[in-house]
């Protein structure tokens, strides 16, 4: 998250051990354990209310756990110097672009606020990153003028400016049509191949999960039910996993 120490991009590993969190006495996370390898695309799936987004907020430091630890390359993320050492980016479900700024200003915000580059360099980097996500003509538009898919791609461009070693995606394809969802899925894959960033994707979109994941974890009721490769998860016998993977409408004749 800090720009003072920009090394060449290289994915980092993430370890989560025994993570617990309750809100007003209600347990939301009940002991989460998993490991993400450097450069891996790790997908967390699960039904709504299973605790996926809360888990993601803990990983980026927006929430503090009641118990448990989160390690990046073996160092606890709760220590400010560790959070400053590694570059992490978060792509929000809504995009979370600042509505008072143009798309270009949003994408360059990190560099502008931390004064990491000159104004000319920032303009050039912003144009490059927007071109990477197919939005080079939208530089001067306001976020309200963009479609849902474009907002998410602009949010990805904003994350790329950080030159992240670890990207978190929160429901990147929610509220998108199937074509836009495929575009976002391809962006995630392409980024991973191009800059070897470690990606952690939270989603309940089965197509996206099985399309991009190296490994998948399925969550239910604040716990991880199973972790494995897409094939292993597909053949998991747990009824909650099977119900989630095969849920569908059946019209009576």
Partner 1 sequence: MFENCGQFIILFWHTLLALPQTWRQRQKVKEQLFEIGNASLLMVCMLSFFIGGVVALNFGPPLVERSFTNAVGGVVGLGLAKELAPVMMAILIAGRIGSAMTAEIGSMAAYQEIDALRTMNINPIYYLVLPRILALAVALPMLVVISVLVGWLGGAVVANSNHLMEIPFQVFFSDLRDIVDLSDVANGVFKSFCFAIIIGVVSCHQGLATIGGPRGIGRSVTKAVVNSIVLIVISDYILTRCLLK
Does residue 60 touch partner 1 according to CB under 8 A?
yes
| Distance between CA atoms of residues 30 and 234, nearest Å | 24
Q: Which residues contact 40 (CB under 8 A, 6 or more apart)?
A: 11, 198, 199, 214, 215
What does the angle CA 249 – CA 149 – CA 250 come to, to the nearest 5 degrees?
5
Binding status of residue 109 toward partner 1 by CB under 8 A: yes
Q: Does 90 help bind partner 1 (rule: CB under 8 A)?
A: yes
**Least Cβ distance, residue 3 to partner 1 (angstroms):** 8
Q: For residue 160, state whether it binds partner 1 (rule: CB under 8 A).
A: no
Closest separation in Å from C-beta 241 to partner 1: 29
Task: Judge whether 198 and 13 are in contact, CB under 8 Å.
Answer: yes
Residue 114 found at the interface with partner 1 (CB under 8 A)? yes
- On whether the CB atoms of residues 133 and 153 are closer than 8 A, the answer is yes
Q: Among the candidate windows 14-22, 23-31, 32-40, 112-120, which touches partner 1 by CB under 8 A? A: 112-120
* Contact window for partner 1 (CB under 8 A) among 111-119, 123-131, 185-193, 200-208: 111-119
Q: Which of 29, 45, 88, 219 binds partner 1 (CB under 8 A)?
A: 88
State in angstroms the smallest separation of the CB of 18 from partner 1.
24
Q: Is 8 exposed, middle or buried (0-12, 13-18, 19+ CB in 10 A)?
A: exposed
Go through the chain and tell me how many residues it has.
Answer: 253
Structure tokens belonging to residue 74: 């073996």
Told to check if 191 binds partner 1 by CB under 8 A, we report no
84, 119, 131, 247: residue in contact with partner 1 (rule CB under 8 A): 84
């Amino acid at each position: 998250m800090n720009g003072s120490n920009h090394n060449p991009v290289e994915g980092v590993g993430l370890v989560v051990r025994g993570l617990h969190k309750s809100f007003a006495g209600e347990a939301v996370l009940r002991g989460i354990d998993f490991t993400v390898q450097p450069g891996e695309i790790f997908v967390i799936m699960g039904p709504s209310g299973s605790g996926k987004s809360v888990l993601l907020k803990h990983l980026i430091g927006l929430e503090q756990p009641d118990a448990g630890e989160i390690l990046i390359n073996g160092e606890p993320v709760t220590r400010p110097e560790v959070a400053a050492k590694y570059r992490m980016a978060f792509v929000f479900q809504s995009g979370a672009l600042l509505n008072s700024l143009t798309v270009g200003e949003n994408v360059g915000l990190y560099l502008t606020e931390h004064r990491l580059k000159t104004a000319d360099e920032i303009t050039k980097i912003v144009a490059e990153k927007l071109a990477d996500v197919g939005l080079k003509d939208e530089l001067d538009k306001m976020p309200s003028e963009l479609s849902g898919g474009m907002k998410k791609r602009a949010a990805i461009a904003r994350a790329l400016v950080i030159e992240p070693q670890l990207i978190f995606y929160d429901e990147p394809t929610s509220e998108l049509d199937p074509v836009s969802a495929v575009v976002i899925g391809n962006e995630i894959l392409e980024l991973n191949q191009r800059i070897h960033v470690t990606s952690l994707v939270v989603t309940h979109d089965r197509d996206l999960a099985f399309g991009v994941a190296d490994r998948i974890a399925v969550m239910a009721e604040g716990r991880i039910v199973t972790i494995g490769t897409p094939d292993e998860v597909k053949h998991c016998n747990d009824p909650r996993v099977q119900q989630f993977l095969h849920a569908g409408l059946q019209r009576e004749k």
